[in-house]
Amino acid sequence: GAGVSQTPSNKVTEKGKYVELRCDPISGHTALYWYRQSLGQGPEFLIYFQGTGAADDSGLPNDRFFAVRPEGSVSTLKIQRTERGDSAVYLCASSPGTGGADEQFFGPGTRLTVL
Amino acid sequence: GENVEQHPSTLSVQEGDSAVIKCTYSDSASNYFPWYKQELGKRPQLIIDIRSNVGEKKDQRIAVTLNKTAKHFSLHITETQPEDSAVYFCAVYNSGTYKYIFGTGTRLKVLA
């Protein structure tokens, strides 16, 4: 079946602009995670959704970052007033969300470049 | 919060030799320990995982060992091949917080 997909694959924007990154999880997966991966680093947790609600958004670096998942499937990560330090690969992952330890399935990521 | 340390940051081995990567964690409530392989420009892929009620798990050339008392776990790759070259990440999951915390990665180079 289809895996996790993310669009766009690449996004180049100018400092101060607004961007939206989209994640389409595996059908039926209730748990959805957003991560940020900088060059040479491991994925850094940003936010976790269980269904439609953000169960943990403690990883969002500041109030310029926001994420939604209105129907419990597709999620959008929104970044306002982008800064050069926001440049990174943004990864989305989904898992069945049974409440225990599930395997995560990653999307291909969106490479964000802020000029 | 949870802190995960991963060593070494880079590792070069000759083809056919073994490679070992180690991770330590701080939260004793963590109960799931996956390992991911990430090739350049690609997404992380799960290669093996272990749960807190198991001490060792093996899948062909790959094995993972877990020492919950010492709070560390290791990835073992035997008979390494050039296609094993990639960055490997450990991760720690806590079912109380639903959060995965990743290590900083190990770049493995298998020399032919």
What is the pLDDT averaged over residues A75-91?
97
Q: Where are the beta strands (DSSP E) in chain B?
A: 4-7, 10-14, 19-25, 32-38, 45-51, 56-59, 62-67, 72-77, 86-94, 99-102, 106-111
Query: Which SS3 state, helix, strand or coil, does residue A22 take?
Result: strand
Q: Which residue has the tokens 């670096």?
A: A61
CB contact under 8 A, B89 and A33: no
User: What pLDDT score was predicted for residue B54?
Assistant: 80
Residue A34 near chain B (CB below 8 Å): no
Q: What DSSP designation does A93 have?
A: E
Q: Which residues of A touch B45 (CB under 8 A)?
A: 106
Q: Which residues of B touch A10 (CB under 8 A)?
A: none
How many residue pairs bridge chain A and chain B with CB atoms within 8 Å of each other?
52
First to last CA, chain A: 37
Q: What is the mean pLDDT of each run of 10 residues along chain B (112 residues)?
A: 92 98 94 95 95 90 95 97 97 87 96 92
CB contact under 8 A, A101 and B44: no
pLDDT tier at A26 (50, 70, 90 boundaries)? very high
Residue A89 confidence (pLDDT) above 80: yes
What is the pLDDT averaged over residues A60-68?
96
Q: Which of B93, B99, B18, B41 is nearest to A35 (CA)?
A: B99
- B24 to chain A, minimum CA–CA distance in Å? 15
User: What pLDDT score was predicted for residue A99?
Assistant: 63
User: What pLDDT score was predicted for residue A1?
Assistant: 57
Helix (H) or strand (E) holding B3: none
CB contact under 8 A, B105 and A104: no
CB contact under 8 A, A91 and B43: yes
- Burial string for B43-72 (b: 16+ CB within 10 Å, else e) reads bbeebbbbebeeeeeeeeebbbbbebeebb
Of the candidates A33, A41, A107, the beta carbon closest to that of B104 is on A41
In chain A, the residue whose alpha carbon lies closest to the alpha carbon of B88 is A42
pLDDT tier at A101 (50, 70, 90 boundaries)? confident
